[in-house]
Amino acid sequence: MKVGDSLNINLLPSQAKFQADKIKLKKKIRHYEMMALWGWLVFLIGAFVLFFGSGIILSASQKKYQQAVNIFQSDTEGIVLNQLLKYRAKALGQVLNDRFEYAASFEKVASIFSDKAKVSEFELNDKDKSFTMTVRASDKDGVDYIEDRVLEVNEGKVEGVKKITITGVSYQVRGEWLIDMEVMI
């Protein structure tokens, strides 16, 4: 036996030892019961706070939603009218972009050739928005000029005119060349 072991010796009778152990066990059980009771109490309080708090938050969200719905319903006509105006403006803009500009196209076609070649006949084909025209040249230099301009247009060097197709060439007795062509805008 060691020197410090004598303090741990229990000299109580065995009946008292049993009762002391029983009392210690009851205290431990009571302690665990109180901890479980407090745990359940905290859990119930948390559940009630969560239940009622979520109810309050839900009712506030429903009020905001109802206000937004009321505002939307009161301004439905304005919204529909606004959308209708936007649609019509967009459709009008598309029509204006897609329409054929007669005056501008006449000016473009008339400006293809300078004074070296004169346009004598000029006709618009509405079906495919092309022009049929006859260009007069008084000499070989004029014919060369017309050929060069047709090449420039077909190579894409002249803006606003897509293509020129020569449909016929004739020489008049007066020494004048007539070149028939179709101009695509």
pLDDT tens across the length of the chain (185 residues): 455 555 666 666 777 777 888 889 999 999 999 999 999 999 999 999 999 999 899 999 999 999 988 887 777 777 777 888 888 888 888 877 766 666 677 777 777 777 777 788 778 777 777 788 888 888 888 888 888 888 888 888 877 778 888 888 888 877 788 888 888 87
Encode 54-78: b = buried (16+ Cβ within 10 Å), e = exposed: eeeeeeeeeeeeeeeeeeeeeeeee
- Domain range annotation of the chain: 12-99, 102-184
The total number of residues shown for the chain amounts to 185
In this prediction, residue 162 carries a pLDDT of 81
In this prediction, residue 19 carries a pLDDT of 83
Question: In the CATH scheme, what is the code of domain 102-184?
Answer: 3.30.1360
Chain segment 51-79, per-residue pLDDT in tens? 999 989 999 999 999 998 888 777 777 77
In this prediction, residue 178 carries a pLDDT of 85
Q: Give residue 90's identity as a one-letter amino acid code.
A: K
Q: Decide: 94 and 170 in contact? Cβ < 8 Å.
A: no
In this prediction, residue 48 carries a pLDDT of 92
| C-alpha to C-alpha distance for 165 and 179, rounded to whole angstroms | 10
| C-alpha to C-alpha distance for 36 and 42, rounded to whole angstroms | 10
The two tokens of residue 108 are 């473009």
| C-alpha to C-alpha distance for 16 and 91, rounded to whole angstroms | 103
Which residues on adjacent β-strands are paired with residue 118?
136
Chain segment 158-169, per-residue pLDDT in tens? 777 788 888 888
In this prediction, residue 43 carries a pLDDT of 95
In this prediction, residue 111 carries a pLDDT of 72
DSSP collapsed to 3 states, 22-82: HHHHHHHHHHHHHHHHHHHHHHHHHHHHHHHHHHHHHHHHHHHHHHHHHHHHHCHHHHHHH
